[in-house]
Amino acid sequence: MSNNSVLILQTLLGKEITNSPSAVSNWLRPIFTLVEKGHIIAEYTVRQEMTNAAGKLHGGIIACIIDDLMGTTVFTLDRDFFMSTINLSIDYLFGGQLGDVVLAHCEITREGKNIVNVTCKLYNKATQKLIAHGTSNLVTTSTPKIM
């Protein structure tokens, strides 16, 4: 049985995302390097508008990357309805800076009937240092999926 959501996302492998239904994804500009059911790896280049006053990757942007990719990873489960974040916990472990490429490894930890638990780790691509580790639970909404 084919998974339409995975097939859709796999057509985007290696391409910068700029035409997503999600305006946040378009702003973040991920490049998917792996898409499987329940598992996505994406790259993000740290741009000026993603940094704080100290020139480091802003913690809010880290949270945005993690939360957005978690939602996309849940999309690979090919459910009939959207899911919404009900909590998000992030440990900030190392900084990123302008020009860095960060890798986000996101995977489903547990898929329940109404709640899905997801984990995402963000690494500096060049040094492989762990920048942040996030976990979240997402709950099924009443909004039908559009794709």
Q: Residues 1-33: pLDDT tens digits?
A: 456 888 888 889 999 999 888 899 999 999 999
Q: What is the pLDDT of residue 1?
A: 45
What domains sit in the chain, N to C, each tagged with a CATH number?
Answer: 4-144 (3.10.129.10)
Q: What is the pLDDT of residue 11?
A: 85
Q: Is the pTM of this model over 0.85?
A: yes
pLDDT digits (tens, 9 = 90+) for 53-65: 999 999 999 999 9
Measured distance CA(110)–CA(28) in Å, rounded? 26
Per 3-state DSSP, the chain is made up of helix, strand and coil in percentages (nearest 5) of 20, 45, 35
